[in-house]
Amino acid sequence: MEFLYFTVAGLVLYVAADWVLLRIEGIYGKVLPNRSLFFFGIILVMTLVTFEAIQYFTPDTPPAEVQQESDIGVESLPEKRGPSADDPVQMVPSLNQPANNQ
Protein backbone atom coordinates (compact mmCIF):
# COMPACT_ATOMS: atom_id res chain seq x y z
CA MET A 1 0.00 0.00 0.00
CA GLU A 2 2.94 2.27 0.70
CA PHE A 3 3.94 2.29 -2.98
CA LEU A 4 0.56 3.81 -3.79
CA TYR A 5 1.17 6.66 -1.33
CA PHE A 6 4.56 7.40 -2.88
CA THR A 7 3.18 7.27 -6.43
CA VAL A 8 0.30 9.64 -5.70
CA ALA A 9 2.62 11.93 -3.72
CA GLY A 10 5.07 12.03 -6.63
CA LEU A 11 2.36 13.07 -9.06
CA VAL A 12 1.00 15.73 -6.71
CA LEU A 13 4.51 17.03 -6.00
CA TYR A 14 5.26 17.36 -9.70
CA VAL A 15 2.16 19.50 -10.26
CA ALA A 16 2.77 21.49 -7.06
CA ALA A 17 6.40 22.21 -7.93
CA ASP A 18 5.37 23.44 -11.37
CA TRP A 19 2.71 25.67 -9.81
CA VAL A 20 5.24 27.11 -7.32
CA LEU A 21 7.72 27.76 -10.14
CA LEU A 22 5.06 29.55 -12.19
CA ARG A 23 4.22 31.77 -9.18
CA ILE A 24 7.91 32.61 -8.70
CA GLU A 25 8.22 33.46 -12.39
CA GLY A 26 5.10 35.63 -12.09
CA ILE A 27 6.73 37.60 -9.29
CA TYR A 28 10.02 37.78 -11.21
CA GLY A 29 8.21 38.97 -14.33
CA LYS A 30 9.77 36.63 -16.88
CA VAL A 31 10.92 33.06 -17.36
CA LEU A 32 13.80 32.28 -15.04
CA PRO A 33 17.17 31.40 -16.51
CA ASN A 34 18.01 27.73 -15.76
CA ARG A 35 14.34 27.05 -15.11
CA SER A 36 14.89 23.30 -14.83
CA LEU A 37 17.46 23.82 -12.06
CA PHE A 38 14.96 25.85 -10.04
CA PHE A 39 12.30 23.21 -10.67
CA PHE A 40 14.69 20.49 -9.49
CA GLY A 41 15.46 22.38 -6.29
CA ILE A 42 11.79 22.97 -5.52
CA ILE A 43 10.71 19.39 -6.16
CA LEU A 44 13.73 17.99 -4.30
CA VAL A 45 12.92 19.85 -1.09
CA MET A 46 9.21 19.07 -1.33
CA THR A 47 9.91 15.39 -2.07
CA LEU A 48 12.32 14.90 0.82
CA VAL A 49 9.87 16.43 3.28
CA THR A 50 6.82 14.59 1.90
CA PHE A 51 8.44 11.15 1.59
CA GLU A 52 9.84 11.42 5.11
CA ALA A 53 6.35 12.29 6.38
CA ILE A 54 4.84 9.31 4.53
CA GLN A 55 7.39 6.97 6.10
CA TYR A 56 6.76 8.48 9.53
CA PHE A 57 2.97 8.18 9.40
CA THR A 58 2.63 4.77 7.73
CA PRO A 59 2.96 1.74 9.98
CA ASP A 60 6.08 -0.34 9.64
CA THR A 61 5.50 -3.52 7.72
CA PRO A 62 7.45 -6.48 9.04
CA PRO A 63 10.04 -7.85 6.65
CA ALA A 64 9.34 -11.14 4.95
CA GLU A 65 10.49 -14.10 6.97
CA VAL A 66 13.83 -15.42 5.82
CA GLN A 67 14.40 -19.11 6.19
CA GLN A 68 17.52 -19.61 8.28
CA GLU A 69 20.07 -22.26 7.44
CA SER A 70 19.37 -23.88 10.80
CA ASP A 71 15.70 -24.25 9.79
CA ILE A 72 16.66 -26.31 6.75
CA GLY A 73 17.04 -30.00 7.52
CA VAL A 74 20.05 -31.90 6.24
CA GLU A 75 17.74 -34.15 4.26
CA SER A 76 16.55 -31.18 2.19
CA LEU A 77 20.05 -30.16 1.05
CA PRO A 78 21.14 -31.40 -2.38
CA GLU A 79 23.76 -34.11 -2.48
CA LYS A 80 27.22 -33.19 -3.69
CA ARG A 81 28.11 -35.71 -6.35
CA GLY A 82 31.09 -35.14 -8.58
CA PRO A 83 32.01 -32.78 -11.38
CA SER A 84 28.98 -31.82 -13.40
CA ALA A 85 28.47 -30.30 -16.81
CA ASP A 86 26.73 -27.34 -15.13
CA ASP A 87 29.89 -26.24 -13.31
CA PRO A 88 32.36 -24.59 -15.73
CA VAL A 89 35.19 -24.72 -13.18
CA GLN A 90 34.87 -28.51 -12.95
CA MET A 91 34.90 -28.83 -16.74
CA VAL A 92 38.31 -27.15 -17.19
CA PRO A 93 41.02 -29.54 -15.96
CA SER A 94 43.73 -26.87 -15.70
CA LEU A 95 41.75 -25.00 -13.04
CA ASN A 96 41.31 -28.08 -10.84
CA GLN A 97 44.81 -29.54 -11.00
CA PRO A 98 48.08 -27.95 -9.98
CA ALA A 99 50.31 -26.89 -12.82
CA ASN A 100 53.12 -29.30 -13.70
CA ASN A 101 56.27 -27.21 -13.86
CA GLN A 102 58.71 -29.52 -15.62
Q: Of all helices (H) and strands (E), which one includes residue 8?
A: helix 2-28
pLDDT value of position 2: 81
At 53-91, the pLDDT tens digits run 998 888 876 666 655 555 555 555 566 665 555 665 555
Instruction: Assign 96 a pLDDT band (cuts: 50, 70, 90).
Output: low
CB 54 within 8 A of CB 12: no
CB 10 within 8 A of CB 47: yes
Instruction: Assign 44 a pLDDT band (cuts: 50, 70, 90).
Output: very high
Average pLDDT over residues 26-33: 91
Q: Which phi and psi (to 5°) does residue 58 adopt?
A: -90, 140
CB 16 within 8 A of CB 30: no
Instruction: Assign 15 a pLDDT band (cuts: 50, 70, 90).
Output: very high
